[in-house]
Structure 1
Amino acid sequence: EEVYRIPTIPEDWIGWEMGEAFCSRCMSSKELDVLSPRTIGKPELLVAYLEWAVGALTRQGLQLQTLPFIRVYEFVGGHVMKNPGMVSLAKLWEGRVYADLGLKEEAEKSRAAAGSLELDPAQEREFEQHIRQREMLRTATAASQQNQGLDGGRTQSAAERNAKPDPWIRILRPVQEHEVWVRQAEAKYLEGDSKKAKQMLTRALKYAKSNEDELGEGQCLHLLSKLAGLEGHTSHAIQLELEAQAYTNVFEFWCESCTHLADMMAQEALTVFGGHSLDDATSVLASADDTFGQVLKDKPNLANDITPLRAALRMKAAALTLSNSVRQNSMGSSLWQKAHAEHRAAMDGVCEELSALGGGQQLVQALLLRCQMSELPAAEDPAGRQTRLLECLALLDKAEEEARKNCRVSRGANPPPKGGCLAGDRDLA
């Protein structure tokens, strides 16, 4: 029917809204092929898959393809789960997509639709009351446990406190308010609104502590660590990240945390005065790479998750070596030439591994960095210089081919109409 009509090409999803009539028909429908409470048996599971899909597509540079998933997330959060915060989160994601695509007006509209994300006075009172009630419960539980000769503290049983959760299994629970706040804060962080993100994370951390949600506490501290690193406070960022890792060992969180921790430790090493600062920084990145490599050795099925992280660490180390060599004008040094050759070989491995995974935006960046490393150090003899330039041209051709392939994938396979272009091509150019 007309009310159920949805866009058929990626570009038409830009600016498309489900509308009240669309959502009402879906909610009241009893058909098995229509998205409705009847067909969504486990909304928490669907929301988890939608969040994963949005994140995975964004990391691959396929922002346009995230819009259908964001629309479904908005519908499930607003109509099925009755959570206004999830609707605001969907609008923040949508604004980020439009900003990445260069659609400034649409991005501003989406961010305005997300609202201020502030708690009204009634919500603020409810929040403070919840915190007080949880504190009273924790105090009463601690006193009871001390009377029984047990360690006082958290309200879980001893078995729950001592049990080590399986890092490979994610336990789905009803979506809590502070979990939405954390995701909203992450979206504001990506927008560059550090002040708002820090404010929301402080509130979410307080709520997570009261609910004894260790994963939530770890996520809050992780994002606060990112904000500290963004402000240049690397030592504080490292301290916060180490605290975050003590709360949870969930695989997805652990990967993000280790990557950020390695980056902050590398930056901290670079601030130390002396000739070994670069060596210390690259050693930190190499250590993180080895850690991920051991995980990949034990769990080969995680190649799609681990390989891009290892590639990013090696690219960071190679870029540091290259930039420092140029800055110190030490290309003639045998020590720098040796380090340069080692990282150039590492970049060859990065390009091969990313190509085996299907390429993508990260492969283009790796090929361009590899091209820079082929251009330098400059060979003294004309023949050697010519060989390096030919190698650079070959790498640039590969990077261009991969970039064109990415554009075809991200823009869809629909051919443009005769005498015109696909909807939104002018805006997306």
Structure 2
Amino acid sequence: MNIAALKLNLIKVQRRLRLELSLRWDRLGYRLKALRGQAWPVPAGKKRLLFMCELVPARAGRMAKWLHRLGRYELVLLCHTDGYVAEFVEGHFDRVVRYRNAWHLRSQLERLPDIYLVHSFAPKCEYPDLVRQTVDAPFLLDMQDVIVTYHGLEPPYAWARKELQYERRCLAEADAVIGQSLEPRVGFQRYAIHPRPRTLFFPLYCDDDTWQPLSGPRPDGEIHLVYAGGLAGSHRDRRQFGILQFHPLIELLSAQQIHFHVYPSPSTLPPDYEEYYAIARRNPYFHMHRPVSHGDLTRELAQYDYGFLPFFREDSDLKQEKMTYSTSLKLFNFLEAGLPVVISRDIHYQAWMVMRGGAGIAIGKEDVGTLGARLRATDYPALTARVDRHRRYLALSQQLHRLTRLYDEVVAIHSQSPSV
């Protein structure tokens, strides 16, 4: 076992110990009402909208910001302590409440009366499923990564096998499912869910506030690609994490004198990206940067020429459905920064999102070795002009009404339910 794997296992052990040590106290705290603390009242004239998750996604803060501007809601984030990422929240919520375990979650829910609607985010679904069963309010499930699309109904990993039961229940019992991509459709099929709950297709979209001015190629005349997001070290299992292990890709790009810049996600654990700093020190064409907050990300990305999404099917054992239907926020971050996107054809839905607006270049794994020649022959100003048109079409500000309309519709249906 190398040092990175040891560090990663140590983090897992520490989290497990914290969970076990807190369970007994929090079970007692839930049963003794005096230990729970006072309830938080809903501000006058507002509706309490609960954003609930185990792992806070960057999407949550973006959506909360735009919903907050409507003036209708009190925005509350309820998130697991280990899944909280301050860089994704950035002051967009009226209240942030954290929980340690299932008993502590129940106690925190007791302090949040009069919930208008629960907007939960997955993965993962164990704690959202508990909230679904506990809170008398409409329950929405906002899906990005649907676990059953990764490895099917018999995954080789214990954590995934455990997750499936919660994921299936949430997909089947939600008042509505919000699909950031087409993955929920696969989930409905794999779990044989009939009838299906109402579904809103609501991609991640481009945050108008973060748009950067268009620019021409960098003055040094060299090509600079940038990637921002999850990363995996060489100690990880290639079958599961191969598409996030960039070591061979770095060599292929460097051989063509293409600069490759990487910004790890703030939610990525350091043992997964520390080894890349050593590569950057000895390779002048690879540049490993520090994580940045989501509010600062597009300004950083705008320094470069192209966003890069190099996820190729042959690099891992992920199911074809995962590659076909998945999505990622980084695609929209690149458009916000005014960057054309070089994207793998293997991630079909995301490649379609780019190419329908002519906002980038789709490639196969076999094309990486000749990518430099192709990019040097590209009409860059024409490409960036199409990027600008495409991000205006995908503006979040123009789509928010579809989300709030769904809120109102499910609340109206829930209020007529005999159980209320």
Larger radius of gyration: 1
- Which is richer in helix? 1
- Which is richer in strand? 2
- Calculate the TM-score normalised by the size of structure 2: 0.26
- Calculate the TM-score normalised by the size of structure 1: 0.26
> Which protein, 1 or 2, shows the higher relative CO under an 8 Å CA cutoff with sep ≥ 6?
2
